[in-house]
Amino acid sequence: MFTCIASKWAGCAYRLPKIHLAVVLAVLLPITACGFEKTATTAAAFLQIGVGGRIPAMGNAGVAYPGGPDMLATNPAAAGGIGPERGRGSGLGVSVSYIDWFAGLRHQSAMVLVPVSPTLRFGLQLLSFGGDEFEQTTLAAQEGNGIMVDYGDFAAGGSVIAELTDRFTVGVTGKYIRQDLFNTSASTFAFDVGTLLETELDGFNIGMAMTNLGGEMQLDGRDLIDEPGGVSGGETRLATSAWPLPLTFQTGVAWRVIGRENAFRNNELHGIMLVADAKHLNESVTSVHLGAEYGFAESVFLRGGQTLEHDSEKWAFGCGIRVNLYNYALAADFAYADLGDLDSVQRITLTLTDNPLR
């Protein structure tokens, strides 16, 4: 695939340094490690859910996609954008997202990006995942005993994004993760690290991110304690295992083939962005993600993508609209994803930035 691209654009091949070329080949020609999958052997699986309405609409490809505050969960280095994503703004922005997950579950997120200087930004992200409470059942009350059980997952993190050069950005996120199930809970801390490189080939970016690098999670609480009573008294504590977080390594490329700024070919009305990612999870699962975005006048967007080598994720589609609101830009993005037997998933995201349309 890369050979065809290199042949077609032979006149620009000399502009890619060798190290960039090696990364591109590694992304577009991933090699799946030998061995068997260890599916469902990690905790806090909600951290694997794609956040926002743009990246999921492109088949969850876009670790090198320079965007707004909604990129904090995917690649903190890409939050704030470059070129037309930041425009005349400083990088200030806020994004809220809602995901109608399957089985009656819901995923909400809120993300804020604040510039400190032209080369330094701070970010804040809040994630929640859960559903409606349900009635508890026991062997003695199999139809329910009237006690309602609540459950949910939560994550909160802070990010620092620094532009080390005019082309290279690094982002680091520290976050607290917690899972609750009635009277039991588990929590830990983790880190995300991401990079974004704007290459010498116009519009071509390379991104990498390692997310959920942290400790293990082990359920604990009074629901695990059995107090039989009687003469001997005492109590019995049920043992639980500790499980690692879904450590993920994602690398990819994004190429703005057509656009107003920072593009291979300049065009005032039309824009095309191509994205390709390879993602590896510590459950020995490797997947490939391909996507594209078309924009008209930087106001209306159509997106689509596909996930390869994955059991449930297949095709995804989406759209977006961006309008001026005083000295700010308000964007609404919608995404639809087909998860096969697990049903479909819809996402909607609202983003406000200080980057108004020209």
3-state secondary structure of 47: helix
For strands 225-226 and 265-266, give the pairing.
Answer: unpaired
Quote the pLDDT of residue 1.
37
Token pair for residue 10? 């032979």
**Any idea what DSSP says for residue 322?**
E
- Distance in angstroms (rounded) separating the CA atoms of residues 311 and 336: 17
Give the chain's mean pLDDT. 83
Judge contact between 334 and 318, C-beta under 8 A: yes
- Angle at CA 251, nearest 5°, toward 249 and 256? 150
Quote the pLDDT of residue 29.
44
Helices assigned H by DSSP within 73-192: none
pLDDT grade, residue 25 (50/70/90)? very low
- pLDDT greater than 80 at residue 217: yes
For strands 265-266 and 248-259, give the pairing.
Answer: parallel
**Structure-model confidence comparison of residues 13 and 323, the more confident one:** 323
Mean pLDDT of 304-326: 89
Mean pLDDT of 222-250: 77
Quote the pLDDT of residue 257.
96
| pLDDT single digits (tens) 92-136 | 899 999 999 888 899 999 999 999 988 899 999 999 999 888 888
- pLDDT greater than 70 at residue 229: no
Quote the pLDDT of residue 207.
96
- Distance in angstroms (rounded) separating the CA atoms of residues 94 and 115: 12
Q: State the DSSP H helix or E strand holding residue 3, giving kind and residue range, or none if neither.
A: helix 2-8
Q: What is the number of H-type helices and E-type strands within the chain? A: 3, 20
3-state secondary structure of 78: helix
- pLDDT greater than 60 at residue 357: yes
Quote the pLDDT of residue 36.
46
pTM across the whole model: 0.82
Quote the pLDDT of residue 85.
54
Q: Which residues contact 113 (CB under 8 A, 6 or more apart)?
A: 68, 69, 72, 79, 80, 91, 92, 93, 94, 121, 122, 123, 161
Quote the pLDDT of residue 254.
96
List own/partner pairs for 338-346 with CB under 8 A and 24 or more apart: 338/314, 339/102, 339/312, 339/313, 339/314, 340/311, 340/312, 340/313, 340/314, 341/312, 342/102, 342/312, 343/102, 344/102, 345/99, 345/100, 345/101, 345/102, 346/99, 346/100
- Angstrom CA distances, 197 to 165, 225, 357, stand at 10, 52, 25
Query: Nearest Cα to 111, choosing from 122, 103, 99, 119?
Result: 122
- pLDDT greater than 60 at residue 89: no
- Angle at CA 71, nearest 5°, toward 66 and 77? 65
Domains of the chain: 46-132+147-353 (2.40.160.60)
Q: The dihedral of CA 74, 293, 95, 48: what is its sign?
A: negative
| pLDDT single digits (tens) 10-24 | 344 334 444 444 444
Residue carrying the six token digits 């089985």:
103
| pLDDT single digits (tens) 138-180 | 788 887 788 888 889 999 999 999 999 989 999 999 999 999 9
Quote the pLDDT of residue 88.
53
Quote the pLDDT of residue 234.
64
Q: What is the CA radius of gyration of the chain?
A: 22
Highest mean pLDDT among 8-17, 139-148, 235-244, 341-350: 341-350
**Structure-model confidence comparison of residues 83 and 180, the more confident one:** 180
| pLDDT single digits (tens) 254-310 | 999 999 888 999 999 999 999 999 999 988 788 999 999 999 999 999 999 999 877
Quote the pLDDT of residue 28.
43
- Distance in angstroms (rounded) separating the CA atoms of residues 287 and 63: 14
Judge contact between 344 and 337, C-beta under 8 A: yes
- pLDDT greater than 80 at residue 241: yes
What single letter denotes the amino acid at residue 87? Answer: G
- Distance in angstroms (rounded) separating the CA atoms of residues 11 and 349: 39
Quote the pLDDT of residue 38.
59
Q: The dihedral of CA 15, 21, 24, 29: what is its sign?
A: positive
